[in-house]
Amino acid sequence: MKAHRAMFATALTMSFVGLVLQVQIPDLLSKAIDNSIVRHSVPLHFYVWWVVALALVGGVTGYVARLFLFETAYRFEYDLRALIYEHLTKMSFPFYDRVQSGQLISRANSDIRSVQMYMTFAPQILVQCSIAVVAFAYMLSINVILALVAMATMPFVYLTAVKMRTSMFPVSWLIQARLAEVATIVDENVSGVRVVKSFAAEDQQLGELSRAAARVRWSYVKDADLQARWSPAMQNLPQLGLALVLLFGGYMVIHGDLGIGAILAFNAYLLMLQAPFMMLGMIVMMGQRAAASASRIYEILDEQPTITDRPGAVDLVDCRGDVRFEAVGFSYGGDDGVRVLTGFDLHLRPGETVALVGRTGSGKSTVARLLLRFYDVDDGVVRIDGRDVRDVTLASLRSRVGIVLDEPFLFSLSIRDNIAYGDPDASLEAVVAAATASGADGFIRRLPDGYDTVVGERGYTLSGGQRQRIALARTLLVNPPVLVLDDATSAIDVQVELEIHDALRELMVDRTTLVIAHRLSTISLADRVVLLEGGRVVADGTHAHLLETSPLYTEVLAQAASREAADAREAATDLDGRDGPGVPGPTAVVR
């Protein structure tokens, strides 16, 4: 709010001025009754024109106040949402490993809206409450005793508000937390709709959502119960003050101690005071919900990224692509996690292509993540061109090391925009060249709108192999000196893969490439093969050398080939109703 303090202060000032003008009207009515109707000393139209003028000026000030106040609130909402998103972009992968996306979505939307709503309405009510001081001053000027009688119930209103606020905060927190649970379930079901439908689990997921929604309903009912207990008291205590004014004021008028205009003015002032106090219960409720939401927002903002640029970090320029892993040890979850890499040593010389092979869970993908500093090593060091990767800036490191993951993610944009994601200003010719190198140009041109075709969410309107080729093109476009292929062609059929490999062989010249592979065809791209087992290198050499000297290497390839053959048979059976011909067995692949 401090960033918009000028507009905010103007809104509150204009609101205050408008209310001060309204306070004048009961005083004018009192004088009009006494001077124009009772004593006939002043023409009645004199007061009529004053009331009209005050109403017109009050309307203008009220318009400006509401306009500026709402604009401030929406600017505040924009700033806070941008602040949270900017903070989320800086957070490290360990943060996303433990936080559900639905929780983040809820805090970036419904929680921000709760705070924004409070910042919109609370200042208005506070200004109206401040007018109570002005109105009370006018009441004192009319009759001190009657003014004190009128305000006698206000301390009880305050105590009731404090009690209501204390009881509602835990429930407000619970409402926001359970709304986040619902958001998480919806987000996961929309993102994983293909899994849900493939297992015919719609009823199961509806039941889970129903239970979560029932918990939200219980929280809202509890919130309504608390409001039903306290709000009537807050709204009706000022009415008791009105009754007391009628009782004591009427007695004074009957005995000639107070004029009729005065008691009418008192009633008007009390009615003006009732409006903010009647809304006080709503503001207390909104305030507690906003407080709970603000706490949840600060839980995110108070999280600090664990992977950051060190003080004095330098940009990685003129990268030659000399990569070293020296005695690297790593476990997900820190000291309490399962050890993934232990004493891992590997040297990739500039321009060399190395295939990393191992069983599932041996730590192959972890090696790639450590190179790009998605995570930091627990022990040892990762160097590039002789520098510890922790001593270079993250932006320059990741711009020099390109990675293609085995599970490609595409944005709901055109294919051209997806390929040009790393270089939005790239020409169409450069995009087409990258798509051609990845084997994607052919199928892209057959799409209805070619490169302007918009893919569905996460690219699920395309096949897995097509998504992988677009992801590969996306990385090739930025032309990184170090390239990591994390099983990047696993979903591509063998014939297309061979065509891609022919293009990759040309692209890999003078480029350091780490290939995480299962297929023999992918391994054939490498100058040498490194076998990973138990988080450490157990064999290193050419493919032929390892076949002759490492039984474990042969076993790993045979297991991978068996899985690939089974997948191929299953796919052929799905298509033809019979086993597909010519599916290679494990022995053929190993040889």
Q: Are 276 and 104 in contact (CB under 8 A)?
A: no
Output the six-digit token pair for 548. Answer: 């002759």
Confidence of residue 567 (pLDDT cuts 50, 70, 90): low
Average confidence (pLDDT) over 381-402: 92
Residue 241 lies in a domain: yes
Rounded to the nearest angstrom, the gap between the alpha carbon of residue 551 and the centroid of all alpha carbons in its chain is: 49
Q: Which residue has the higher pLDDT, 545 or 130?
A: 545
Of 144-148, 413-417, 562-566, give the lowest mean pLDDT range.
562-566
The SS3 call for residue 340 is strand
Q: Which residue has the higher pLDDT, 517 or 367?
A: 367
Q: Which residue has the higher pLDDT, 448 or 259?
A: 448
State the helix-helix crossing angle for 5-31 and 44-90, rounded to 10 degrees.
160
pTM: 0.68
pLDDT confidence of residue 495 = 63
Residue 436 has pLDDT above 70, yes or no: yes
Residue 48 has pLDDT above 80, yes or no: yes
Q: Tell whether 41 and 154 lie within a shared domain.
A: yes
What does the pLDDT look like over 225-238, one tens digit per residue? Answer: 887 887 787 777 77
pLDDT confidence of residue 197 = 65
pLDDT confidence of residue 416 = 92
Query: Which of 252, 267, 301 corresponds to the end of one domain?
Result: 301
CATH code where residue 544 lies? 3.40.50.300
Q: Tell whether 340 and 449 lie within a shared domain.
A: yes
Q: Tell whether 469 and 418 lie within a shared domain.
A: yes
Q: Tell whether 240 and 373 lie within a shared domain.
A: no
Of 115-124, 281-290, 418-427, give the lowest mean pLDDT range.
281-290
Confidence of residue 571 (pLDDT cuts 50, 70, 90): very low
Q: Domain count of the chain?
A: 3
Percent of the chain with pLDDT over 90: 11
What does the pLDDT look like over 485-526, one tens digit per residue? Answer: 887 666 566 666 666 666 667 667 778 989 887 777 778 778
Average pLDDT, the chain: 81
Confidence of residue 383 (pLDDT cuts 50, 70, 90): very high
First to last CA, the chain: 70
* Residues in a beta bridge with 533: 536
Residue 380 has pLDDT above 80, yes or no: yes
CATH code where residue 220 lies? 1.20.1560.10
Q: Tell whether 468 and 527 lie within a shared domain.
A: yes
Q: Tell whether 19 and 73 lie within a shared domain.
A: yes
Percent of the chain with pLDDT over 70: 88
Q: List, edge to edge, every strand of the sheet that includes 536-541.
A: 401-404, 482-486, 512-516, 353-358, 528-533, 536-541
Q: Tell whether 218 and 283 lie within a shared domain.
A: yes
Q: Tell whether 164 and 67 lie within a shared domain.
A: yes
Residue 7 lies in a domain: yes
Residue 51 has pLDDT above 50, yes or no: yes
The Cα–Cα gap between 343 and 360 comes to: 19
- Rg (C-alpha) for the chain, rounded Å, is 36
What does the pLDDT look like over 79-110, one tens digit per residue? Answer: 988 888 888 888 888 888 888 777 788 788 88
Residue 537 lies in a domain: yes
Average confidence (pLDDT) over 255-277: 74
The Cα–Cα gap between 529 and 545 comes to: 9
Average confidence (pLDDT) over 437-463: 84
Confidence of residue 577 (pLDDT cuts 50, 70, 90): very low
Residue 96 lies in a domain: yes
Q: Tell whether 329 and 442 lie within a shared domain.
A: yes
Residue 307 lies in a domain: no
Residue 384 has pLDDT above 90, yes or no: yes
Residue 46 lies in a domain: yes
Q: Tell whether 493 and 503 lie within a shared domain.
A: yes
pLDDT confidence of residue 574 = 44
Residue 179 lies in a domain: yes
Residue 330 lies in a domain: yes
Q: Tell whether 109 and 157 lie within a shared domain.
A: yes
pLDDT confidence of residue 583 = 35
Q: Tell whether 506 and 582 lie within a shared domain.
A: no
The most confident of the ranges 190-199, 393-402, 485-494 is: 393-402
Rounded to the nearest angstrom, the gap between the alpha carbon of residue 558 and the centroid of all alpha carbons in its chain is: 44
What does the pLDDT look like over 106-138, one tens digit per residue? Answer: 788 888 888 888 887 788 777 877 777 777 787
pLDDT confidence of residue 579 = 38
Confidence of residue 324 (pLDDT cuts 50, 70, 90): very high
The SS3 call for residue 176 is helix
Residue 102 lies in domain: 2-301
